[in-house]
């Protein structure tokens, strides 16, 4: 699986706060996002492709909305 890892520590608002890495290994940061960037992730009119930047951005908006609407925190 081809993945990209983005990680950030809560409260770190510096311009270089986001750590980007290859793979899905955990980081020392509390918030980690793993995106599968394999070329077979998205079915598109009989072929496959990688997920687009816009699709990732839209998914992040959906996730943020879900977290804000959910009354349970922490979720587990």
Q: What is the 3-state secondary structure of the chain? A: CCEEEEEECCCCCCCCCCEEEECCCCCCCCEEEEEECCCCCEEECCEEECCCHHHHHHHHHHHHHHHHHCCCCCCC
Residue range 32-59, pLDDT digits in tens: 999 988 888 788 889 999 889 999 999 9
pLDDT band at 61 (very low <50, low <70, confident <90, very high): very high
Judge whether residue 1 has pLDDT over 70: no
Domain boundaries, the chain: 3-69
pLDDT for the residue 31: 93
């Amino acid at each position: 699986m081809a993945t990209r890892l983005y990680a950030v520590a809560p409260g770190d608002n510096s311009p270089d706060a986001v750590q980007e890495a290859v793979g899905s290994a955990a980081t020392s940061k509390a918030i980690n996002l793993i995106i599968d960037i394999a070329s077979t992730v998205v079915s598109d009119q009989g072929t496959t492709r990688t997920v687009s930047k816009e699709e990732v951005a839209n998914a992040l908006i959906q996730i943020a909305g879900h977290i804000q609407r959910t009354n349970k925190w922490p979720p587990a």
